[in-house]
Amino acid sequence: MKRNFTIRQGALDGVAAALAVAGHRSFRKAAADLGVTPSAMSQAIRSLEARVGAALFIRTTRSVGLTEAGERFLSRAKPAFEELVAASAAARDLGQRPTGLLRLSVPRAVVPILLEPVIASFCRAYPEVEIEIAASEELIDIAKEGFDAGIRFGQLIAADMVAVRLSPPFRMLIVGSPAYLARAGRPARPDDLRSHACVRFRRSNGALALWQLNDNSRRIEVAVTGPLIAHDFATMLTATLEDMGLAQLPEPMVREHLSAGRLVSVLEGYVPTAPGMFLYHPGRRQVLPKLRAFIDHVKSQSDAARRTRVDAAERRASPRKRR
């Protein structure tokens, strides 16, 4: 059976005044301590006594004392009120500076690409913030599960979330190891993928992801087959490096392997572009300083890394100066 429940308005009104009067044993000194007039202090105590239903103080022209009801009331009200004040201070502290536990829900593939390069520097810059990273491909309800924010591909974020871009759009490359390509040959057209061993990805909803390609701005979806089905990009990358077949993976994840010659990109003319990675959270009013500091730090580090890559590419492209 549903019970009626009403929160009484002003239940705490006058408690601070009563504690001050009891501590000073004086209405005038208590009023000065709280920065109010003596008449306002007297009115606050009278209102509190009326709500309690008993006199809390014995007043004379020379002194102020506690009644038995006042002693009982204040013996229990004082620790409770002090705990409430401490709780308010603790919550206020979280709202004023970066501190506390920052919980993030992220895909496993994001950890090496986006988080590993910045976690150490963030912890050094904000030593009062603890970071908890829950790496999972599951699309969870971050508010329900108690996370401050999540990181996902832009196309996977719900419309009612506030999304903050953390990376530029990137290509979803189809890659294979030199040994595999030497054995199976390089695909020249999307249809050639049907005869290749492909490492597939199973989404959190149980469906096998189709490979997305782009043919002159026309979207193509290809159902591939292969010896391995993975639930995360990290496993797909490992399998590809072990010569098991082709895989479609985010370019930032395979960039170093391509530069080192451990992987080769194929079907470059059909490569699609993904929206990029975004951090998302329930709303702007709910962004505590710890989360704002993390967003700004990740964006600044990502921008710096991107500028470094651009500068390196420009140096490689420019002709060498003749001596």
3-state SS track over 22-70: HHHCCHHHHHHHHCCCHHHHHHHHHHHHHHHCCCCEEECCCCEEECHHH
| Range of weakest confidence among 31-45, 72-86, 210-224, 303-317 | 303-317
Give the pLDDT band of residue 103 (cuts 50, 70, 90).
Answer: very high
| Range of weakest confidence among 84-88, 208-212, 289-293, 307-311 | 307-311
Residue 102 vs residue 1, higher pLDDT: 102
Q: Which helix (H) or strand (E) holds 84?
A: helix 68-96
pLDDT at 129: 92
Q: Please, what are the domains in the chain?
A: 15-96 (1.10.10.10), 100-168+276-317 (3.40.190.10), 170-274 (3.40.190.290)
Backbone angles phi, psi at 123, to 5 degrees: -65, -35
For residue 309 the two structure tokens come to 């890559």
Query: Measured between alpha carbons, how far is 7 from 211 in angstroms, rounded to an integer?
Result: 56
pLDDT at 257: 96
Residue 219 vs residue 8, higher pLDDT: 219
Determine what percent of the chain is predicted with pLDDT higher than 90.
31
pLDDT of 226 above 90: yes
Whether residue 283 contacts residue 163, with contact meaning beta carbons closer than 8 Å, is answered with no
pLDDT at 276: 83
- How high does pLDDT run on average in the chain? 84
List pLDDT tens digits, range 10-44.
556 788 888 889 888 999 898 998 899 989 989 99
pTM, two decimal places: 0.61
Query: Measured between alpha carbons, how far is 79 from 91 in angstroms, rounded to an integer?
Result: 18
Q: Summarize the confidence of residues 102-131 as an average pLDDT.
A: 85
pLDDT of 234 above 90: no
Task: Determine the Cα angle at 273 with ends 268 and 277, to 5°.
Answer: 135
List pLDDT tens digits, range 151-194.
887 766 777 788 888 888 889 999 999 999 999 999 999 999 99
Q: Summarize the confidence of residues 101-111 as an average pLDDT.
A: 86
The secondary structure of the chain in percent helix, strand, coil, rounded to multiples of 5, reads 45, 20, 35
Whether residue 105 contacts residue 140, with contact meaning beta carbons closer than 8 Å, is answered with yes
Query: Measured between alpha carbons, how far is 286 from 8 in angstroms, rounded to an integer?
Result: 27
For residue 87 the two structure tokens come to 């709780």
pLDDT at 289: 87
The 8-class DSSP code of residue 309 comes to H
For residue 151 the two structure tokens come to 């990181």
C-alpha closest to that of 230 among 251, 257, 249: 249
pLDDT of 4 above 60: no
